[in-house]
Amino acid sequence: MTAPSLDLVANTAQLEPARVVGRLAPSPTGLLHLGHARTFLCAWWSARSQGGRVLLRLEDLDGPRAAVRFSDAAQHDLEWLGLDWDGAPSVQSEHLARFAEAVDSLLAAGKAYACVCTRGDLRTAQNAPHAGDNEPRYPGTCRGRFASLAEAERASGRAPGVRLVVPRGPVRIDDTLAGPQSFDVAAEVGDFLIARRGGAPAYQLAVVVDDAEEGVTEVVRGADLLPSAARQWHVQTALGLPHPSYGHVALVTDEHGERLAKHADALSLAELRARGADPRAIVRWAAASFGLPSEELVTARELVPHLRLSALEDGPVRADRSLIARLTATPSR
């Protein structure tokens, strides 16, 4: 284990305090669809309307599902929508050293610990899972059990993961779009993984470290990630990093009320483009869904002066076959 590093804090402190830095962070595990378009437009509008910078980060840590072809497709789709970004795209898998350094610093400070529990162990320990939970609450089986990762592996014969020590009590997130939120991570989730078995960084750690390193001050993303804001708040606190502002955009659902998936090809931006859709029609649809209707086709940039995140009307949005017909009715010129 190495000593805690101040590099992340130092890099963040060098930023201009008043400068907004937003980010677009697609995960290259499939084609972007209309829901992604709406969220990324909102994130881009928010930062640009404040005179801020926009960064592009390709979050490609999702194992074999991440593919270069989807990274290329995502950049093409965003450019087609009229979005731009400052500087070269950042690729998350190129930052493994910084993630390992952060994990080491938390272990050295006693804010994280080795865990050899399997999913089967957790299911057995979970007596009464909460309705709708995607994961069982971790009961703290390995907290204080091992002095190091090496000891954990010797004692168990398993490669250990690393869990964050989560303090008790609720975390309040003042979400710009979803409103005030409160999450008790210790009660609902328990100590969560920040590194998987074998050392691969978990999402909750990776995005926090990258956001801090890249100076991100504003995170606008899908509402499915709202519970993650509280977990990331704990990681930020443990690492001594600032907390960005959050805005979580309502998800777009299909005609059956189910959230759009990346395999929904009919609603993918690539398919809409192939069918001759005008990107301005998608921009107009997205703007109207936030309470900014327009009779004219507009570019993303033309709407920048009219956007303020706190003034947007956000709520559930449905995309069905009739929407596809409307979006493709006016061919791109």
Pair 313, 179: CB distance under 8 Å: no
Token reading at 316: 């559930």
What is the pLDDT, as a whole number, of residue 238? 98
Q: How far apart are CA 318 and CA 295, in angstroms?
A: 20
**What ranges do the domains of the chain cover?**
7-249
Pair 211, 203: CB distance under 8 Å: no
What is the pLDDT, as a whole number, of residue 156? 94
What is the pLDDT, as a whole number, of residue 34? 93
What is the pLDDT, as a whole number, of residue 122? 64
Token reading at 12: 């963040």
What is the pLDDT, as a whole number, of residue 331? 54
Phi, psi of 150 (to 5 degrees): -65, -40
CATH-assigned architecture of domain 7-249 = 3-Layer(aba) Sandwich (3.40)
Q: How far apart are CA 193 and CA 216, in angstroms?
A: 23
Pair 203, 29: CB distance under 8 Å: no
Pair 47, 54: CB distance under 8 Å: yes
What is the pLDDT, as a whole number, of residue 311? 87
Q: How far apart are CA 169 and CA 3, in angstroms?
A: 29
Pair 190, 252: CB distance under 8 Å: no
Pairing state between β 53-58 and 252-253: unpaired
What is the pLDDT, as a whole number, of residue 332? 54
Q: What is the pTM of this model?
A: 0.87
- Residue ranges of the chain whose pLDDT lies below 70: 1-18, 63, 120-135, 261-266, 330-333
Please give, one letter per residue, the 3-state secondary structure of the chain.
CCCCCCHHHHHHHCCCCCCCEEEECCCCCCCCEHHHHHHHHHHHHHHHHCCCEEEEEECCCCHHHCCHHHHHHHHHHHHHHCCCCCCCCEEHHHHHHHHHHHHHHHHHCCCEEEECCCHHHHHHHCCCCCCCCCCCCCCCCCCCCCCCHHHHHHHHCCCCEEEECCCCCCEEEEECCCEEEEECHHHHCCCCEEECCCCCECHHHHHHHHHHHCCCCEEEEEHHHHHHHHHHHHHHHHHCCCCCEEEEECCEECCCCCECCCCCHHHEHHHHHHCCECHHHHHHHHHHHCCCCCCCCCCCHHHHHHCCHHHCCCCCEECCHHHHHHHCCCECC
